[in-house]
Structure 1
Amino acid sequence: MAKSTGRLRNEETRLAILDATRSELASRGWDTLSFERIAAVAGVGKQTLYRWWPTKTALVSEMVTAGGILPVGPVAVTDDVRADVTDWMLAVGRVQNDPDATAVLQAIVAAVAEDAALSASYDERITTVARTRLAERLQQAVDAGVLPADLRIDTVTQVFLAMVLWCLVTRRPLDEALVTDLVTTTLPVAKQPPRGPRA
């Protein structure tokens, strides 16, 4: 691949660098991530990376933004909110079926633990998006009277995402039994109003 010249980004080159960053994170982790190896894998000059991303935090932040880190699409809306949330959680958990994706996530977890800027970027672009999508679905169920009106939606969404992170870090499967138990425990059935006396 031809090396990028000038300050304007070439999209093909940018994507090649982000792919190389992902590959290096998967194989080497955050601590030993280097612009020199990323440049070599991407087939560009090292100065191109420094010109576009002054730090590895900035580069990894853009890689996170580019997507593909966690499948945090919208939660389906059917007549069963618990099944919708369960299916969404299982879809997120399938990232563990891809060893490279899991390695990248574990590297990012290590990175955000020591880099405040990357932590803020990851929270804004991954976890906040996921929490928002879950919260929207739960609020719909509360509004429909399916879930209790006093459900602590923000707390529940954080519990769900904490479980995802715990499973990724500890390499435990986010399987159906675990997710079903979590959903059943945290999403109680709304109490029905008492019936009046029979005539």
Structure 2
Amino acid sequence: MNDRTILVVDDSDFDRKLLVEALKRKGNFTIVEASTGERCLEALETVSVSLVLMDMLMPGIHGSGVLSEIRKRFSAVELPVIMVTSLSEDSNVVDCLQRGANDYITKPVNFEVALSRIETHLKLSEASREMARLRQNAALNALVTTYSHEINNPLTIAIGCLMAPELTPASKEKLEKELWRIAKIVKKIETAGRDAEVQFTDYTPVAKMMKLT
């Protein structure tokens, strides 16, 4: 799935098809449909969804109940949820917003308004993910700066031992000592990276260094 996949959830086939056709006609989206709250949750198990557009009142699990289950799995940034409600459901709207809905639209649906809000929340979600990625990059850069000097000296000595014409018992002992120092420093970097929630797999030099341990 692309990063503009919308899950439309409504027990009314007529209302759901209206929304789906409007979204297909006016936006560059991949659409997934669900007719019940249960099927919505099942779809989220197998499909990568960018946003959920869900009717408030449905048989079985009520829209607010489905929303609560969604928020157990995804944050409001990871998966925006827009509720669809009638004008007479103000108390339900408040309840859903408190449960983690990002927004709501009212019936009868104004498709231009719906499209605008969908685009807004998709952009906000993408911007939040990009900010998180930049924070991770900054955290990694800080770690690399902090530990690069510390690891440089034992690494230079170890390379010198390996480049020597002959590995004598003394140089072998020195090599083992420096490799142990390097392993300890890398372990410190790994621990600091976990604390900072940095994804080292995105950074080839550090990732390769990790594999040495």
TM-score (norm 2): 0.27
Richer in strand (by share): 2
Higher relative contact order (CA 8 A, sep 6+): 1
Structure of larger gyration radius: 2
